[in-house]
Chain A
Amino acid sequence: MNGNDFTFVLDGENIRFEPGQTIMEAATQAGIYIPHLCYHADYRPRGSCKLCTVKINGRFGSACTMPVQPGMQIDNDTDELTAMRRRLVQMLFVEGNHYCPHCEKSGNCQLQAVAYHVGMTDSHYPHFYPLRQLDASHPDMLLDRDRCIACELCVRASLESDGKAVFGLAGRGSRTRVVVNSESGLLGDSDFSADDVAARICPTGALIPKREAYLRPIGARQYDLRDIAHNAPPDPPSPEQMP
């Protein structure tokens, strides 16, 4: 290995990378999908959902936070990791109230798409059925905490892209919830706007625009025809993309 040999091995394949890239960034650049939910290319990684966990030289690590080193041997698409990721997604499902059958985000939802990708066919764990507050106070946006997975993408987008700090997380563990920065705690009393970047960042149906429910026909939704692995990066549909 010399100083210019910026390659590592991902699932047996030699991958080139640029110095300073994380495993996730290098893999994405090479067109290789590593399941993730809290990671977004535009924001600093948090490594909180653990879905991008890979095996690095035999040890577990988060692909979104771990910088690549030359010669790393990384396992991503293995039965062992898929089984672990399936358990993580199942836990996310039972911790919240994710009812795909009538959810407006169904078919365009990263959580659902990742669940399909990792072969989740049931919840496995008992449902928590938490009591969470729906916030429909905003004229254009809906905050449905039932579907929140605490990925913090709205928190980061509001802070870093919109310069507003509308959202934050409060509580600990499975009681973690998204809170709104306004006197009343209601979204309608905050300076949040449907034009904010944060309004289109949610990977689930927790933060969704009003008046766009089910607009994309079944069969033409983002993940109807292609697995999320071939769909990355999974940007939410813009209004212009709506049929």
Chain B
Amino acid sequence: MHEHLEQASQPEGLQRLVIEPVSRVEGHGKVTLLLDDAGRVQQARLHIVEFRGFERFIQGRPFREVPTLVQRLCGICPVSHLLAASKACDPFVLGSSAITPTAKALRRLLHHAQVLQSNALHFFHLASPDLLFGFDADPAQRNVFGVLATNRELGLRGIRIRKYGQEVIRLLTGKRVHGTGSAPGGFLHPLSLAARASMQQDIDTIIDWCAASLQLARDQYLANEAEYRNFAATRSAFLSLVTADGAAELYDGVLRVKDAEGRLIVDGHDPARYSDLIREEVKPWSYMKFPYLAPFGHDGGYYRVGPLARINNADVLPTPLAEAARREFSDYGGGKPVQAALAQHWARMIDTLMCAETIRELLDAPELTGSEVMGESSDTLREGVGVIEAPRGTLIHHYRLAEDDTIACANLIVSTTHNNRGMNDSVRGVAAQYFDGRTITEGLLNRIEVAIRAYDPCLSCATHALGQMPLIVEALAADGQPVSQLIRHADGQFSRALP
């Protein structure tokens, strides 16, 4: 919707306004705005300014090490990378055979716990302060501690939902973050009955809390619908995994794309053939690539991923409470995909409820505590693709082996990358809508960050300190002289060095 703001026609001499770092997100991002003499935004970009390089430095490493290595891409969603890499490396051990039913149940449980905890972190810790207090609220209040101070029950509930997911991960992998468990060919250890009983103890409460939190996210959106509907607005197609019969699916399945009108334009696409569907474009001003749907060309191939895509794309959700919520969400969209950036939080909480319900089903499944966790085959393959729905959306790992079973070639497309164009378009929408061209306000900064957080709290799949990062934003006149400056200090206080 705002593509014309990606590149100013005559960038020379325009005022340059920089937001760096972007706060309450994990990783390093930077937003630049170029303004003309009348203060109108001529160019707006979200730059991802750090380079990770995992695809290169896992080359030459033994493949059995790779899932545990690549999970270090992220401190919020390491399990997603562990599982996507395990899936991609399964053919190196199993050939065309499937992992055992027990290994699959264990991986699915691990994955749903991961999405549960990560969604809870995203919604409660990072995004809810904006929604509960408003975009212009006192920045000192606008954080998770503010949520705890004003709505203690809600804040604690969010923390405990996340804690539950983390605890399931710990019981399965030995650690809450960066454990070991899933491996090429299956799972390394069976699950004890005691560990399962421990997980079963609180799951009903977690489902109740997730249902209540979904209600809150829904009510919050609908109460502010007039503003939220057009906030950071963009229009795209949606990509996600679904089962062969069109139900939402996080761990397995086939790729589906619905266009902005809700028409199925790709369905039943084999994830192993993702490269037929997705091309990646490189832009000189960001380390993050810009993928698009190849069959529809660069302009027509704009798509987004994540909970919004999952809920928009699914014909049905596999669990009853979540499915009822999906129907309501679908009714709100009038049968067409919901596009609003802030509706992502509503969709995210439907997704979270689906995870909690699925965890209960998995915990009751007899195969979960089986002993056959690792498979083997003498007829192995040399190339593998693993695709899952990570918390922020479709995650693709693709590896090819060298003769000596080390990685010859790797390609990773993480969820954030899919949404690069969406985030950029939303940032442009906010900048065009809210900047008056004269004074940078804290409210403007936060609105830009609100748009980014609606998609993703972890820009680079990296872990960094949460909270009040120091931030200086300057508007420079055409001659380079500062005309406005706003400083956010590490303690959350603001000051102006210039008027």
When distances are taken between beta carbons in the complex, the residues of chain B under 8 Å from A218 are: 173-175, 179-180
Given contacts A101-B178, A102-B65, A102-B69, whether A217 and B60 have CB atoms under 8 Å apart is no
Interchain CB contact under 8 A, A217 and B188:
yes
Cα–Cα distance between A205 and B467 once the two chains are bound (Å): 38
Residues of chain B lying within 8 A (CB to CB) of residue A136: 62, 404-406
Q: How far is the CA of A218 from the CA of B181 in the complex (A)?
A: 9
* Interface presence of B183 (CB below 8 A): yes
Contact B189 A217 (CB under 8 A): yes
Query: Which residue in A102, A210, A213, A219 is a CB contact (below 8 Å) of B183?
Result: A213
Chosen A-B contacts, 16 in total, with CB atoms closer than 8 Å, are A102-B69, A104-B65, A134-B406, A136-B405, A136-B406, A213-B62, A213-B64, A213-B183, A214-B180, A214-B181, A214-B183, A217-B174, A218-B174, A218-B179, A218-B180, A243-B189
Does any Cβ of B come within 8 Å of A215's Cβ? yes
Inter-chain CA distance A101–B97, complex, in Å, is 30
Q: Is B24 located at the chain interface by the 8 A CB criterion?
A: no
Chain A 177-215, CB-CB to B under 8 Å as 1, else 0, gives 000000000001000000000000000000000110111
Interface size, chain B (Cβ < 8 Å): 21
Indicate whether A142 reaches chain B with its CB closer than 8 angstroms: yes
Interface check A29, CB cutoff 8 A = no
**Cβ-based interface call for B213 (8 A):** no
Residues of A within 8 A of B (CB): 101-102, 104, 134, 136-137, 142, 188, 210-211, 213-215, 217-219, 243
Chain B residue numbers with a CB within 8 Å of A214 are: 68, 180-181, 183, 188
Q: Which of A102, A104, A134, A210 has the most CB of B within 10 A?
A: A102
Residue B397 CB within 8 A of the other chain: no
**Complex alpha-carbon distance, A102 and B82, angstroms:** 11
Q: Does B16 contact A (CB under 8 A)?
A: no
Interface membership of chain B positions 167-206, coded 1 if the CB is closer than 8 angstroms to chain A and 0 otherwise = 0000001110011110100001100000000000000000
How many whole Å from A133's CB to the nearest CB in chain B?
9
Closest 9 A-B residue pairs measured CB to CB?
Answer: A218-B174, A102-B69, A214-B180, A136-B404, A213-B64, A102-B68, A219-B174, A217-B174, A217-B189
> Contact: B189 with A211, CB < 8 Å?
no
Nearest-CB residue, chain A, relative to B71: A102
Decide yes or no whether B72 CB sits under 8 A from chain A: yes
Closest A residue, CB atoms, query B72: A101
Residue from B64, B68, B173, B174 in contact with A210 in the complex, judged by beta carbons closer than 8 Å:
B64
Residues of B within 8 A of A (CB): 60-62, 64-65, 68-69, 72, 173-175, 178-181, 183, 188-189, 404-406
Give the docked Cα–Cα distance between A225 and B23 (Å).
38
Q: Which residues of A contact B404 (CB under 8 A)?
A: 136-137, 188
Residue of B with least CB distance to A133? B60
For residue A127, give the distance in angstroms from its CB to the closest CB of chain B.
14
Residues of chain B with a CB closer than 8 A to A217's CB = 174, 180-181, 188-189
Bound complex: CA of A104 vs CA of B64, how far in Å?
Answer: 9
Q: When chains A and B are docked, how far (Å) is the Cα of A214 from the Cα of B189?
A: 10
Q: How far is the CA of A218 from the CA of B176 in the complex (A)?
A: 11
Q: Name the residue of chain A whose CB is nearest to the CB of B60.
A: A134
Apart from A102-B65, A134-B61, A213-B183, what 20 extra A-B contacts exist at CB < 8 Å?
A101-B72, A101-B178, A102-B72, A134-B60, A134-B62, A134-B406, A136-B62, A136-B405, A137-B404, A142-B62, A210-B62, A210-B64, A211-B64, A213-B62, A214-B183, A217-B189, A218-B175, A218-B179, A218-B180, A219-B174
- A210–B405 Cα distance when bound, in Å, is 10
CA distance A142 to B404 in the complex (A): 10
| A137 neighbours in B (Cβ, 8 Å) | 404
Question: How many angstroms from the CA of A212 to the CA of B135 in the assembled complex?
Answer: 52
Q: In the complex, which residues of chain A have a beta carbon less than 8 angstroms from the beta carbon of B68? A: 102, 213-214
What CA separation (Å) do A215 and B406 show in the bound complex?
A: 19
What is the chain A residue whose CB lies nearest that of B173? A218
Residues of the B chain whose Cβ atoms lie less than 8 Å from the Cβ of A188: 404
Contacts A136-B62, A137-B404, A142-B62; A215 near B188 (Cβ below 8 A): yes
Q: Which residues of B contact A142 (CB under 8 A)?
A: 62
CB distance from A42 to the nearest CB of B (A): 29
A218 and B180 alpha carbons, distance in the complex (Å): 7
Q: Please, which residues of chain B bring their CB within 8 A of the CB of A219?
A: 174
A99 to B404, CA, bound (A): 22
The residue on A at minimum CB distance from B182 is A214
Complexed CA–CA distance, A213 and B186 (Å):
13
Residue of A nearest to B180 (CB): A214
How far is it, in angstroms, between the C-alpha of A134 and the C-alpha of B65 when the chains are bound? 13
How far is B180's CA from A134's CA once the two chains are assembled, in angstroms?
23
A211 to B185 CA separation, bound complex (whole angstroms): 11
CA A28 – CA B350 in complex, angstroms? Answer: 61
A217 to B406, CA, bound (A): 24
The interface residues of chain A lying within 8 Å CB-to-CB of B65 are 102, 104, 213
Question: A243 contacts which chain B residues (CB < 8 A)?
Answer: 189
Contacts of B61 in A (CB 8 A): 134
Chain B residues, CB < 8 A from A102: 65, 68-69, 72
- CB neighbours (8 Å) of B69 from chain A are 102
Q: In the docked arrangement, what's the CA distance between A213 and B61, Å?
A: 13
Task: Return B184 CB to nearest CB of chain A, in Å.
Answer: 9
In whole angstroms, what is the CA distance A54 to B181 when docked?
41
Q: How far, in whole Å, are A188 and B405 apart by their CA atoms in the complex?
A: 13
**Complex alpha-carbon distance, A101 and B73, angstroms:** 12
Residues of B within 8 A of A101 (CB): 72, 178
